[in-house]
Amino acid sequence: MPNIGAVLKQEITRLSRREIRAEVHTTKKASAQHRRDIALLKREVAALRRQVALLQQQTLGAPSAARAESTTGKPRFVAKGLRSQRKRLGLSAEDYARLVGVSAQSIYNWERGHATPRAEQVSALAGLRGMSKRMAAARLAQLGGKTVKRSRK
């Protein structure tokens, strides 16, 4: 005759394993679904980042900088060329500086040959080389509009 305690213990173990298996199964399914959702979201984020990068290149003129760097290797800086480009675009030193992302004093010093721009600034200047007057005005409008000249008192 089997021991009642042992039989009861085996039956409890069997039933608890079945209950645990049912609970774990639903948890595994939910976990797998969450992993699929996360993978999908990661793919969407990557696609959106690629779109943003492409749009930034198209609107901010970055491809012209990339072309200039790829054909010559390293963009050159010539103070006389900077001054003639700024005059060709009809921009003040302050407006041109806003396009480059530096101060107007820096532009003044670069044009006079008193200072030279850093490498990242030279590449920003190279990106502006193929820009037309309309493109420059549109980009200035994106960055916050034209500057208003202040009168001295």
CATH code of residue 126: 1.10.260.40
Question: What is the distance between the alpha carbons of residues 50 and 35, in angstroms, rounded to a whole number?
Answer: 23
pLDDT of residue 132: 87
Tell me the longest C-alpha to C-alpha distance in the chain. 114
Both 99 and 40 in a single domain? no
pLDDT of residue 94: 92
Both 84 and 35 in a single domain? no
Question: What is the distance between the alpha carbons of residues 84 and 111, in angstroms, rounded to a whole number?
Answer: 9
pTM: 0.48
Answer whether 68's CB lies under 8 Å from 129's CB: yes
In 3-state terms, what secondary structure has residue 41? helix
Alpha helices in the chain (DSSP H): 4-60, 62-72, 79-89, 93-100, 104-112, 119-127, 133-143
The percentage of the chain sitting over the pLDDT mark of 70, rounded to a whole number, equals 85
User: What is the sign, positive or negative, of the torsion defined by CA atoms of 13, 14, 18, 24?
Assistant: positive
What is the DSSP-derived secondary structure letter of residue 85? H
pLDDT of residue 128: 86
Mean pLDDT of the chain: 84
Domain count, the chain: 2
Residue 7 lies in a domain: yes
| Residue 134 belongs to domain spanning | 74-143
Both 109 and 55 in a single domain? no
